[in-house]
């Protein structure tokens, strides 16, 4: 059922840029960073040429930067066959920001464009459903613009000298109005209905009657909100379902209940101060999140990571992947209605890995372990024997056990096979990543496609499955746990002694001006960090490309035509973590 494929090498981004430049002539220019720059009017043509003629069929990341005099929309495109992403930029003026939407070329741009609209107010012409996605409807203001001042913490110069300038000991929030004095509220807002504004003209109008309007024999459709307070949405996530009987006719994911504007806070924090903050993104796969951020900043600073630290990172990240997949398989079964037994068996293994994390980092979930140029602490002496036992003896058995009980279980197969099918073409077009993409038969793993760390030293395979259904995603996860064990078995004996933290020791890092998009393969998919530095002590722009968030773009496509119960299974197979979706 699962197969293991090797990814063919793709051309280097510089070659692609040169070729594009040659083909499209003066419509594109190349800036100093090697990025393609194109005007908004040419954007669609250029992107279509990039996709069709240069094989850049995968929109990895889409975000924007506020340069105070203009907005720059940044696209990272790459090929599903592998290779580093090329950067495409377009600029638009701040007064009336408008950029054509890439929705027609990459459906995966859907949520990412909505996020940029939500945060910057850039309108994407041609987007079919351009409305706020993370902030509440009716929120006045564009939070990631540089002139938007963050509630409670607004200061002219960031980072703050003190969070409590007057030495107050009460919470500043309590003294202010509902949302803080610097928050802009809609004109009609009275504060009586916190968080529930009256719909204004042209926004947030769900035409319930139109959605309900009937089918055969005058029967009605049912419009149901599933979530945010629902047992199986994995957190405060909402799906607005339109049901015909029990069949899903339409589905709209609604998110942002846990939005805390991670990126704005990240831009206020010091560079290193963001490190523990990344733990809060995907709290099931915390160390992978840290690694992505560390990788991005290291590349911007040109830091070398010592051998030992690289090995520690691989060991931690792969342990992390195993425990995360255990968790997601356990809870997928929970979503199928198994009464907690599989998840508790899976959690038992996860707890052991978390014990090891606690031993090495001092914390089970919020590890705060990676540093720019290495890791924070060396492994304690007792760590290696334990991890050896775990990897060589216990884990394999645990995976076999899960595999034996679940993989060929009649009901499990009945519920998972043929449900939520995503074809490979659609999976790529929707920019899905991780087990969702590989479950559709696309052998795309950032560890292989765009290698980082020392993954090229190990012998391992990219696990794929061809069916593209819930069962395929489950099978990919089982296979990946085995591959992670394989990597661990190779990495553990090779572990060298030596330094764990390279570079100059400093409390505050200096990141040279520039930008970089670094990505790692987190258990849930491609986790990317796009950082822009202007040489100051805090990032000028800090963007997280969240795999959960982008994978959700394909949710509606996967769910239509299936039953209510399948929606839960499909959501479970995407395996979202709301901390990362909402950021």
Partner 1 sequence: MDAIELGIVALKCLVIVAVLLTGFAYTTFLERKVIARMQQRLGPNRAGPFGLLQPAADGVKLIFKENITPVGVDRFVYFLAPIVSMVVAIMAFAVMPVADPITVTIGGQVREIRFQLADFNVALLYVLGITSLAVYGLVLAGWASNNKFALIGGLRSAAQMVSYELAMGVALVSVVLVVGSLSMNDIVDWQVAKGLPLIVLQPVAFGIYAITAIAETNRAPFDFPEAEQELVAGYHTEYTGMRFALFFMAEYINMITVSGLAATLFLGGHHLPFVERFTGNLPWFVDIGVFLAKVILALFLFIWIRATIPRLRYDRLMAFGWKVLLPISLANLALTAVVIAFLAR
Partner 2 sequence: MGENWAFVAILTVIALTIPILGILAAMVLAPKRPGTIKNSTYECGLETVGDAWVQFKVQYYLYALIFVLFDVETVFLYPWAVAYQSLPLLALFEMIIFLLILGIGLVYAWRKGALEWI
Count, residues in the chain: 583
| Nearest CA-CA partner of 401 in 324, 344, 464 | 344
Q: What's the min distance (Å) between Cβ of 569 and partner 1?
A: 9
Backbone angles phi, psi at 218, to 5 degrees: 65, 20
Q: What is the CA radius of gyration of the chain?
A: 24
Contact status: 409 vs partner 1 (CB under 8 A):
yes
Instruction: Record the tokens describing residue 143, joined without a space.
Output: 């939070």
Given candidates 94, 146, 158, 230, which one binds partner 1 under the rule CB under 8 A? 230
Given candidates 15, 52, 304, 348, which one binds partner 1 under the rule CB under 8 A? 348
Q: What's the min distance (Å) between Cβ of 222 and partner 2?
A: 6
Q: What's the min distance (Å) between Cβ of 241 and partner 2?
A: 10
| Nearest CA-CA partner of 115 in 529, 555, 545 | 545
Q: Between 150 and 252, whose beta carbon lies closer to partner 2?
A: 252
Contact status: 421 vs partner 1 (CB under 8 A):
no
Contact status: 355 vs partner 1 (CB under 8 A):
no
Q: Between 566 and 582, whose beta carbon lies closer to partner 1?
A: 566
Look at the alpha carbons of 243, 247, 251, 256 in this order and tell me if their dihedral is positive or negative.
positive
Binding mask 298-337 for partner 1 (x = CB under 8 A): -----------------------------------xxxxx
Q: Which does 227 bind (CB under 5 to 8 A by kind): partner 1, partner 2, none?
A: partner 2
* CA 430 – CA 442 distance, rounded (Å): 13
**DSSP, residue by residue, 350-372:** HHHHHHHHHHHHS-SS----EET
Q: Which does 220 bind (CB under 5 to 8 A by kind): partner 1, partner 2, none?
A: partner 2
Given candidates 414, 425, 496, 512, which one binds partner 1 under the rule CB under 8 A? 414
Q: What's the min distance (Å) between Cβ of 562 and partner 2?
A: 12
Q: Which residues contact 296 (CB under 8 A, 6 or more apart)?
A: 516, 517, 518, 529, 530, 531
Q: Which does 10 bind (CB under 5 to 8 A by kind): partner 1, partner 2, none?
A: none
H or E, element range at 64: strand 58-66
Torsion of the alpha carbons at 42, 48, 54 and 55, rounded to the nearest 10 = 150
* CA 176 – CA 214 distance, rounded (Å): 48
Q: Between 21 and 417, whose beta carbon lies closer to partner 1?
A: 417
Q: What's the min distance (Å) between Cβ of 223 and partner 2?
A: 5
**DSSP, residue by residue, 290-354:** HHHHHHHHHHHHTPPPPHHHHHHHHHHHHHHHHHHHHHHHHHHHHHTT--SHHHHHHHHHHHHHH
Q: Between 182 and 407, whose beta carbon lies closer to partner 1?
A: 407
Residues near partner 2, by CB under 8 A:
196, 206, 208-209, 211-212, 214-230, 238, 240, 244-247
Report the side by side order of strands in the sheet with 525-533: 514-522, 525-533, 541-545
Beta strand 98-100 pairing with 123-125: parallel
Q: Which does 344 bind (CB under 5 to 8 A by kind): partner 1, partner 2, none?
A: partner 1
Contact status: 231 vs partner 1 (CB under 8 A):
yes
Q: Which does 24 bind (CB under 5 to 8 A by kind): partner 1, partner 2, none?
A: none
Backbone angles phi, psi at 163, to 5 degrees: -75, -25
Q: Between 230 and 364, whose beta carbon lies closer to partner 2?
A: 230
Q: Between 428 and 567, whose beta carbon lies closer to partner 1?
A: 567
Given candidates 30, 37, 81, 565, which one binds partner 1 under the rule CB under 8 A? 565
Q: What's the min distance (Å) between Cβ of 419 and partner 1?
A: 8
| Chain residues that interact with partner 1, rule: CB under 8 A | 222, 224, 230-232, 246, 333-341, 344-345, 348, 409, 411-412, 414-415, 563-568
């Amino acid at each position: 059922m699962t197969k293991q494929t090797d990814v063919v090498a793709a051309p280097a981004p510089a070659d692609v840029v040169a070729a594009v430049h040659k083909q499209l002539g003066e419509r594109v220019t190349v800036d100093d960073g090697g990025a393609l720059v194109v005007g908004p009017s040419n954007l669609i043509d250029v992107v279509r040429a990039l996709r069709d003629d240069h094989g850049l069929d995968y929109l990895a990341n889409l975000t924007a930067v506020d340069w105070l005099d203009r907005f720059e929309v940044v696209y990272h495109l790459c090929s599903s066959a592998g290779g580093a992403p090329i950067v495409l930029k377009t600029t638009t003026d701040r007064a009336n920001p408008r950029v054509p939407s890439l929705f027609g070329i990459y459906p995966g741009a859907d949520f990412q464009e909505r996020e940029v609209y939500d945060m910057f107010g850039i309108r994407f012409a041609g987007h079919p459903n351009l409305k706020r996605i993370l902030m509440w409807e009716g929120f006045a203001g564009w939070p990631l613009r540089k002139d938007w001042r963050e509630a409670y913490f607004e200061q002219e110069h960031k980072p703050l000298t003190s969070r409590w300038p007057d030495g107050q000991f009460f919470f500043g929030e309590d003294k202010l109005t509902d949302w803080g004095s610097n928050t802009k509220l809609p004109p009609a807002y009275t504060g009586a209905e916190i968080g529930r504004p009256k719909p204004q003209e042209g926004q947030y109008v769900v035409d319930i009657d139109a959605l309900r309007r009937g089918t055969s024999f005058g029967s009605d459709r049912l419009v149901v909100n599933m979530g945010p307070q629902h047992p199986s949405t994995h957190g405060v996530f909402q799906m607005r379902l339109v049901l015909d009987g029990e069949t899903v006719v339409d589905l709209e994911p609604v998110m942002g209940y846990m939005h805390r504007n991670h990126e704005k806070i990240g831009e206020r924090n010091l560079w290193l101060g963001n490190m523990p903050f990344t733990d809060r993104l995907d709290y099931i796969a915390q160390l992978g999140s840290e690694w992505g951020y560390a990788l991005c900043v290291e590349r911007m600073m040109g830091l070398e990571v010592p051998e030992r630290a690289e090995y520690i990172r691989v060991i931690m990240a792969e342990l992390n992947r195993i425990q995360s997949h255990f968790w997601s398989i356990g809870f997928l079964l929970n979503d199928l209605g198994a009464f907690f037994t599989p998840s508790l068996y899976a959690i038992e293994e996860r707890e052991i890995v978390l014990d090891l994390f606690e031993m090495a980092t001092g914390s089970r979930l919020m590890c705060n372990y990676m540093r720019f140029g290495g890791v924070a602490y060396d492994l304690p002496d007792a760590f290696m024997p334990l991890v050896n036992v775990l990897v060589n003896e216990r884990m394999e058995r645990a995976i076999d056990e899960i595999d034996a009980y679940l993989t060929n279980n009649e009901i499990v197969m009945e519920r998972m096979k043929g449900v939520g099918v995503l074809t490979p073409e659609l999976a790529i077009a929707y920019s899905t990543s991780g087990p969702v993409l590989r479950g559709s038969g696309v052998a795309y793993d950032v560890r292989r496609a765009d290698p980082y760390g020392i993954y090229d030293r190990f012998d391992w395979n990219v696990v794929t499955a061809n069916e593209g259904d819930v069962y395929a995603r489950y099978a990919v996860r089982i296979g990946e746990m085995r591959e992670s064990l394989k990597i661990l078995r190779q990495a553990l004996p090779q572990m060298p002694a030596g330094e764990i933290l390279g570079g100059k020791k400093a409390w505050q890092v200096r990141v040279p001006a520039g930008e970089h998009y670094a990505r790692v393969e987190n258990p849930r998919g491609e986790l990317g960090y796009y950082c822009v530095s202007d040489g100051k002590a805090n990032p000028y722009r800090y963007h997280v490309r969240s795999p959960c968030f982008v994978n959700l773009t394909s949710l509606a496509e996967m769910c239509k035509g299936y039953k209510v119960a399948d929606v839960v299974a499909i959501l479970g197979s995407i395996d979202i973590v709301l901390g990362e979706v909402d950021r």
